[in-house]
A and B are shown apart, each in its own frame.
Chain A
Amino acid sequence: MSVRPNARPVGQKPPFWRDRAKRALIFQFILIAAVAVFLVYIVGNTQDNLAARGITTGFGFLSNTAGFGIVQSLIDYSSQSTYGRTFLVGLLNTLLVGSLGVVAATIIGFIVGIARLSPNWLLARLATAYIETFRNIPLLLQIFFWYYAVLRTLPSARDSLTFGEIIFLNVRGLYLPEPLFESGFGLIPVTFILAIVASIALIIWNKRRQEATGQRLPAYWISFALIFGLPLLVMFATGVPITWDVPELRGFNFRGGFTVIPEFLALWLALSIYTAAFIAEIVRSGIQAISHGQTEAAQALSLPRSLVLRLVVIPQALRVIIPPLTSQYLNLIKNSSLATAIGYPDLVSVFAGTTLNQTGQAIEVIAMTMAVYLTISLLVSMFMNWFNARVALVER
């Protein structure tokens, strides 16, 4: 073996550019410095350009009066409210359709996903047809379909469909009676919370007892009775301190009561049905990932089919299901920004649309809107990661 003439003597430190660890550090430092310089440049340059073009900057506009109406608001809002308030109204509307969409998509998705694996031929084919139809049509078209196609078939306000003269459905939306709470009602929520606490305690106690003695109570049924029964009992004991504000037709539209606007219904339906198709496939793949031996072993213990699914297959399948499910939740929430196409007053429509246009402060408004979606998505991810860690297989 020959020695290269200029090989360095053994034991001497190599120059830093030959040391892989140091080189990596240096490159990382250069990268961070470059990103920082780039950011400083962008911010400074943006400010210069905006000033040069005489465009107002800053967040002062948030306390100015908005001066426009919003059709659906979960908090008090009038056209005299501020732009800051329009931001909140839009944010809450986004969260409303996002959270209800996630719930509905999960329920439909699990049902369809399980149905697709059903031994019942018709049920399985129906589920397949559902998935292949809704997964392969662009979401925006589905939103338009539910909005225009379904909307146009509903009657006008004067010929509303009615259910017992209490609930009305027409082209303007779904009108429901709104409960008005009288004094003395405060006791009912208190009972409700107490019942929930008692139920949780009962379930924990029941679990420990089962582990200790093998005996179990139907704790879930008892909790159910507690949570719904107790408040009802209190309500009747206090003489039903609720009156209902029933919608009635006055002038053009129904007044009073609680209105679900058709934009919300269309968006919610479209988002749920579309995302559910993806969730169904995720659920199916999760269940199929569990080896058939598990099912057979559970059946050998003579567990009924429902318990095989609930106790053996689904807990294991969840580990496969949850990571892709998180992506679907994030997609659904971000897709809700398509609301602006049909005029549902979500954050993008109200804030990044009207507010941006009335104030002209595009950079501030868009930055705030992006920050909101980023925050919501990160929070959902965090929660799902926590949940994933909880259901993950613990190796002993």
Chain B
Amino acid sequence: MKTVRWLGLGISILAPSVAMASTLETVQNRDSVRCGVNAAQPGFSALDDDDQYRGLDTDICRAIAAAALGDASKVDFVPLDSVERFTALQSGEVDVLSRTTTWTSNRDTSLGINFTGVSYYDGQAFMVASDLGVQSTKELDGAAVCTQSGTTSELNLSDYFRIHNMAYDAVVFDSPEQSIAGFEAGRCDVLSSDASQLYAQRMQLADPDRAVVLPEIISKEPLGPAVRQGDDQWFNIVKWTLFAMLNAEELGISQENVDEQLDSDNPDIMRLLGQDGDFGEAMGIEADWAYQIVKQVGNYAEIYDRNVGSDSDFNIARGLNGLWNNGGIQYAPPIR
């Protein structure tokens, strides 16, 4: 998998600097969206028993393919680790990165990439072995902490322990599988990562009851898809794919009732589903782009519940990820 990083590096050195075709054209010619995802993070992106990627992040990839190509199955998933993900996007190895990536100012401004929105509001938390009897993160002075290389977790961790005058040893691994193995082997007292990932990793333990996730959240981790800078058309398509799913939930359009909703006379629904006006044209895609997203993938509530929410093993409450009129902060601009 490391080859991707080196390949990317080689491409950015060797690629001739002629004007490149737009991402949408590239995607249409190839007839598939190349989407950078996690190799194995249950709930967000992991292979199921039929060797299909399942998860919130991968459903967003499918929604983008439904919008851009009219077919949610036309996605090539490219598993990336946290170190190689940005290079893969910068070099054009993938068209979009949907890989539990935290939106930060540095990443948004200096890496040549743009975040298109927030698909999941997360926060960093700590998981400890339950037999340690730790109740709060304030009791972690001197602990050895396993975390993943090249993540915001690694930085938040050092800030948090410094502010609270606590010492810690950072044991840094390449992949989530290795950090959970280090935690299970007892190399570290604490595993620190985004809360959603910790819940998923806890389920992977031989005995999940031997570990508890502490209640404190120490950081803001807005996770979202990212695209290369300098292609506003593709940026818009990815951005509005997520907004369309949120608007669909807000308007009560679901995978099941979307065909009935085509006959609706609610102007918001008519505009979203392309019955009134052509909001796809400005983005260079079909007028029924949002219909295809909801029909083939679902609205935001459906992909949330299916992958991480009430219909999944993780059963994570909507919380911050609820709609703005429902106690959360997920809010999409209107289609008009």
Binding site for B on A (CB under 8 A): 42, 45-46, 48-50, 52-56, 67-71, 78-80, 148, 151-152, 156, 171-172, 250-253, 255, 262-263, 340-343, 345, 349, 353-354, 356-360, 362-363, 366
Contacts and interface: CB of A to CB of B under 8 A. Distances in A.
A253 B150 contact: no
B171 A353 contact: no
Given A45-B17, A353-B174, A152 B144 contact: no
B319 to A, nearest CB: 28
B12 A363 contact: yes
Contacts of A342: 173, 178
B159 interface: yes
Interface stretch (B180-188, B203-211, B213-221, B284-292): B180-188
A56 B110 contact: yes
B interface, how many residues as a size bin? Answer: 35 or more
B275 interface: no
Given A54-B230, A252-B144, A253-B143, A357 B174 contact: no
B168 interface: yes
B5 interface: yes
A156 B171 CA distance: 16
Nearest to A70: B170
Contacts of B110: 55-56, 359-360
Given A67-B155, A69-B158, A45 B13 contact: yes
Nearest to B158: A79
Contacts of B8: 362
Contacts of B229: 53-54
Contacts of A252: 132, 140, 142-144, 189
A143 B233 CA distance: 47
A71 B172 contact: yes
Contact of B150 (A151, A251, A356): A356
Contacts of B186: 151-152, 156, 171
A353 B149 contact: yes
B137 interface: no
A342 B171 CA distance: 9
A356 B178 CA distance: 20
A357 B86 contact: yes
B13 A362 contact: no
Given A148-B185, A262-B187, A55 B112 contact: yes
A4 B114 CA distance: 75
A38 to B, nearest CB: 11
A247 to B, nearest CB: 12
Given A46-B12, A67-B159, A251-B141, A52 B17 contact: yes
A115 to B, nearest CB: 34
A349 B158 CA distance: 17
Interface string B80-91: 001100110010
Contacts of B250: none
A363 B111 CA distance: 12
B150 A362 contact: no
Interface in B1-26: 5, 8-9, 12-17
A363 B9 contact: yes
Given A55-B112, A357-B82, A360-B111, 6 more contacts: A68-B172, A156-B186, A262-B187, A263-B171, A353-B172, A362-B87
